[in-house]
Amino acid sequence: MTEFLEHLGKDSFKIKADQPNDNNSKVQKFPNDVTYFMNYQHGYQLEFQNNILKNVYLYGNHDKQFKPYKNVLPYRIIFTMCNAHIVAKFGEPTSKQGGGPINIGISYDHLGIEITFQTKTWDQPNVAIDQIILYEPSNQTICGICKKVGDLRCAQCKLVYYCSVGCQKTHWKQHKVFCN
């Protein structure tokens, strides 16, 4: 799990067992050993299941309760990137969530990251990030263009996998601007 959090600011995740509930932070326990640690001041929330960290939520700049997360974001994401930028950077997502009553989100399982956007519909092209959710990455690597299993990797950023040189070339047209 420390490996999973390495991308984040080093002082972000100091949790004390006796963390007081105040205006800046709060611990909330739920049935089935689910515990949330909210840090309103620093814009993040940690979700534990049976005392194991499962998800880290990093908030953008328009949440009512959480101030924006100010530390460096993983994989050189910045909150002003829109959905089209994210696909140019990371390729086609492993899965898509939301729509209807909830904000849309896309996940990249090999990176252990879900990015949600400030919209509930899929037809808006330039929508900024809402929040970033981190989870344990999987070992399965999927082509960033056609979503077949693939183990060719962008040699420069090492964040996107491809099944073939053809798919890599196709993605490069948009990826080159965000390959860093």
Residues near Zn ion (CB under 5 A) are 143, 145-146, 154, 156-157, 163, 167, 179
Query: Which 8-state DSSP code applies to residue 120?
Result: S
| 130 neighbors 58 (Cβ within 8 angstroms) | no
Q: How far is the CB of 137 from Zn ion (least distance, A)?
A: 17
Q: How far is the CB of 180 from Zn ion (least distance, A)?
A: 8
Q: How far is the CB of 19 from Zn ion (least distance, A)?
A: 39
84 vs 146, beta carbon nearer Zn ion = 146
Query: How far is 176 from 174, CA to CA, in rounded Å?
Result: 6
27 vs 152, beta carbon nearer Zn ion = 152
36 vs 75, beta carbon nearer Zn ion = 75
Q: How far is the CB of 165 from Zn ion (least distance, A)?
A: 10
DSSP string for 82-112: BHHHHHHHH-S-SEEEEETTEEEEEEETTTT
CA torsion sign for 137, 142, 143, 144 is negative
46 vs 160, beta carbon nearer Zn ion = 160
